[in-house]
């Protein structure tokens, strides 16, 4: 029976048999028939997230490879007879179901990740796959994780500030948009907290924030995510997680993938902040991959290219010129030291690559000084060029005064009664130390920071005991908002403080300090 031409084919809804036949003929006519060649490799050895392959002489470095079971990896080492491939999913005993003898082919492409506004507010793995159970990721494009750093001619001066909300950093080691500032210290001294505080403080700014967790415990990552969700602006954040149980390949590509996601916004004239937690574990995963692929070990068993790996990553952080849109990418990499040894291999490398370092000291941390920033060894090589003028003027001699106090405090521990001038310096220094202490996840606005520094430098806090400085700081934001809202807004808007505004603010601060000191009459710091 010949079917009618207007009858619908149930297998192809909406298409008649004649239309289907025409489409099939068009496809056949457009098909390219003839012999074709393809390079087919074989898995020689596999284990611990690494596969050694043979039979792929034309494969390129970092090329994405596909195994017969659908798994993927990328070429990390090219030898004459073998290719060292890093698996991107290695949960089954470090093999991801890949077995010796399996076929493998090159894709001609590199590892790519989704980019775009669709990732904002999401928690993803280094390949851009969702980890938050909120459905698939819809990206604007797929971009390679390895991209060249902006050329010198495409960069601009770093002049715009990044307010972290942490007084000791914003007042003494100011950061700028496009800067790379290392956060370094021993284990569990508050490195992650500083990075998370910087992200939280961008809730009122225009910066897009990315937090990259590399080899961290699930509990640590969860605490960071909860803090950002509760106190920050999670709708403008991207969390990239490569936990400690992840494949070495995923941990290795995590920071590169995050920088690619951030560059999408930078290249469109926006501003991005990337906190990498941490590059010490990334270096360890790089060393693990290198040793498994039988590369020659160097100092501390790291391969010779570990410096280049981190340099090419961090060089992607930059402030672009107006001709390139004027966007910026700021990097806050974190590194861990062992017993405060800043001269170890990886910390030394990262210090030489970055534009400064915030050093956290274990001794200060255990003494209760949090954040435990060592002002003697910390530095920002951009510093005052990006600092708000009001804060720069108020903190003009703050670092010198604090350093002198620490030295005098050390000497007076040997005994003896210092003279009146030294006692006054010690009392002022104790209040500076109390001002620089700050509770966790409570970033300060720029007007609050200016007021605090102005108060301690002008002597307004001298009537208070160091313990009472916390009460002074806690009531300061409400005081400014209620009694000097216009002044606070001018500082936020212009970053400057006129002579009249300075006098008004000082009078307000002295009254506020007097109200706190009156119940504590007779208390001497």
pLDDT digits (tens, 9 = 90+) for 153-195: 999 999 999 999 999 999 999 999 999 999 999 999 999 999 9
CA distances from 12 to 3, 15, 21, 172 (A): 15, 6, 12, 70
DSSP conformation letters of 57-97:
TT--TTEEEEETTS-EEEEEEE-SS-EEEEES---STTSTT
pLDDT digits (tens, 9 = 90+) for 308-333: 999 999 999 999 999 999 999 999 99
Burial 156-180 (b: 16+ CB within 10 A, else e): bebebbbbbbbbbbbbbbbbbbbbb
Q: Would you kindly state where each structural domain of the chain is located, as residue ranges?
A: 41-109, 114-387, 392-520
pLDDT digits (tens, 9 = 90+) for 33-62: 777 677 789 999 998 889 999 988 889 999
pLDDT digits (tens, 9 = 90+) for 459-474: 899 889 888 999 999 9
Q: Supply the pLDDT for residue 518.
A: 58
Rounded mean pLDDT, 343-371: 94
Secondary-structure percent of the chain, ordered helix, strand, coil, rounded to 5: 40, 20, 40
Q: Supply the pLDDT for residue 421.
A: 82
User: In angstroms, rounded to a whole number, what is the distance separating the alpha carbons of residues 236 and 486?
Assistant: 28
More confident residue, 9 or 143: 143
Look up residue 211 and give its DSSP letter: E
Lowest mean pLDDT among 269-273, 322-326, 405-409: 405-409
Q: Active-site residues: which are they?
A: 381
Q: Are 100 and 44 in contact (CB under 8 A)?
A: yes
Beta bridge partners of 347: none
Look up residue 187 and give its DSSP letter: T
Chain Cα centroid distance, residue 278: 9
Helix (H, G, I), strand (E, B) or coil at 98: coil
The H or E element that residue 277 is part of is: strand 271-277
CATH number of 41-109: 2.40.30.20
Residues 6+ apart with CB under 8 A from 220: 192, 213
Answer whether residue 20 shows pLDDT above 90.
no
More confident residue, 65 or 13: 65
pLDDT digits (tens, 9 = 90+) for 95-146: 778 999 999 999 999 999 999 999 999 999 999 999 999 999 989 999 999 9
DSSP conformation letters of 248-280:
HHHHHHHHHHHHHHHHHHHTTT-EEEEEEE-HH
User: In angstroms, rounded to a whole number, what is the distance separating the alpha carbons of residues 515 and 460?
Assistant: 12
Answer whether residue 4 shows pLDDT above 90.
no
What does the block give as tokens for 319? Answer: 């402030």
Answer whether residue 525 shows pLDDT above 80.
no
What does the block give as tokens for 170? Answer: 């914003």
User: In angstroms, rounded to a whole number, what is the distance separating the alpha carbons of residues 356 and 314?
Assistant: 13
**Strand 271-277 and strand 207-214: pairing?**
parallel
What does the block give as tokens for 116? Answer: 């775009």
Q: Regarding the domain delimited by 392-520, which CATH topology (the fold level of the hierarchy) does it fall under?
A: 1.20.150
114-387 belongs to CATH 3.40.50.300: yes
Q: Count other C-beta atoms under 10 Å from residue 144's C-beta.
A: 15
Q: Supply the pLDDT for residue 303.
A: 92
pLDDT digits (tens, 9 = 90+) for 362-389: 999 998 899 999 998 999 988 778 898 9
Answer whether residue 517 shows pLDDT above 80.
no
Q: Are 466 and 430 in contact (CB under 8 A)?
A: yes
pLDDT bucket at 9, cuts 50 / 70 / 90: very low
Q: Supply the pLDDT for residue 231.
A: 94
pLDDT bucket at 223, cuts 50 / 70 / 90: very high
Rounded mean pLDDT, 24-33: 80
Answer whether residue 417 shows pLDDT above 70.
no
Q: Supply the pLDDT for residue 200.
A: 96
Q: Supply the pLDDT for residue 36.
A: 66
The H or E element that residue 483 is part of is: helix 469-483
pLDDT bucket at 416, cuts 50 / 70 / 90: low
Lowest mean pLDDT among 16-30, 115-129, 442-456: 16-30
What does the block give as tokens for 488? Answer: 């606070």
Whose tokens are 């030394």? That residue is: 348
Q: Supply the pLDDT for residue 14.
A: 61
The H or E element that residue 207 is part of is: strand 207-214
User: In angstroms, rounded to a whole number, what is the distance separating the alpha carbons of residues 263 and 161?
Assistant: 19
Q: Supply the pLDDT for residue 202.
A: 95
């Amino acid at each position: 029976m010949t079917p009618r031409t207007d009858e619908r084919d149930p297998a192809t809804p909406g298409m008649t048999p004649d239309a289907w036949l025409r489409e099939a003929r068009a496809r056949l006519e457009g098909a390219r028939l003839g012999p074709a060649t393809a390079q087919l490799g074989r898995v020689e050895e596999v284990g611990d997230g690494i596969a050694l392959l043979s039979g792929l002489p034309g494969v390129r470095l970092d090329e994405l490879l596909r195994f017969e079971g659908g798994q993927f990896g990328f070429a990390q080492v090219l030898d004459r007879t073998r290719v060292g491939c890093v698996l991107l999913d290695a949960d089954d005993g470090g093999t991801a179901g890949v077995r010796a003898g399996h076929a493998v082919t090159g894709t001609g492409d590199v590892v790519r990740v989704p980019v775009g506004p669709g990732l904002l507010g999401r928690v993803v793995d280094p390949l851009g796959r969702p980890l938050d159970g909120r459905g698939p990721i819809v990206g604007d494009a797929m971009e390679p994780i390895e991209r060249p750093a902006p050329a010198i001619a495409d960069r601009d001066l770093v002049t715009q500030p990044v307010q972290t909300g942490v007084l000791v950093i914003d007042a003494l080691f100011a950061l700028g948009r496009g800067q790379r500032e290392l956060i370094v210290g021993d284990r569990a001294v508050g490195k992650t907290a500083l990075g998370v505080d910087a992200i939280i403080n961008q809730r009122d700014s225009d910066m897009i924030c990315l937090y990259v967790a590399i080899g961290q415990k699930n509990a640590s990552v969860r605490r960071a995510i909860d803090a950002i969700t509760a106190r920050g602006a999670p709708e403008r954040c991207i969390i990239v997680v490569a936990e400690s149980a992840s494949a070495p390949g995923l941990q290795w590509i995590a920071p590169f993938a995050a920088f690619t996601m951030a560059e999408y916004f930078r290249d469109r004239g926006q501003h991005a902040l990337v906190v990498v937690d941490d590059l010490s574990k990334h270096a360890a995963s790089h060393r693990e991959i290198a040793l498994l692929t039988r590369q020659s070990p160097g100092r501390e068993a790291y391969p010779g290219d570990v410096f280049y790996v981190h340099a090419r990553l961090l060089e992607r952080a930059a402030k672009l010129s107006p001709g390139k849109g004027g966007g910026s990418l700021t990097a806050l990499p974190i590194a861990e030291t062992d017993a405060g040894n800043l001269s170890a291999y990886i910390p030394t490398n990262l210090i030489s690559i970055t534009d400064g370092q915030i050093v956290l000291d274990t001794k200060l941390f255990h003494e209760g000084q949090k954040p435990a920033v060592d002002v003697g060894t910390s530095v920002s090589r951009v510093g005052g060029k990006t600092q708000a003028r009001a804060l720069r003027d108020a903190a003009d001699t703050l670092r010198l005064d604090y350093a002198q106090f620490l030295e005098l405090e050390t000497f007076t521990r040997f005994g003896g009664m210092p003279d009146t001038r030294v006692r006054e310096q010690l009392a002022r220094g104790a209040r500076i130390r109390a001002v620089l202490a700050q509770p966790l996840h409570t970033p300060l606005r720029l007007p609050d920071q200016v007021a605090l520094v102005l108060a301690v430098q002008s002597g307004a806090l001298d009537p208070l005991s160091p313990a009472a400085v916390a009460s002074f700081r806690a009531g300061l934001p409400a005081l400014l908002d209620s009694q000097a809202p216009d002044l606070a807004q001018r500082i936020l808007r212009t970053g400057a403080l006129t002579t009249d505004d300075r006098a008004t603010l000082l009078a307000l601060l002295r009254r506020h300090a007097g109200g706190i000191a009156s119940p504590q009459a007779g208390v001497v710091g």
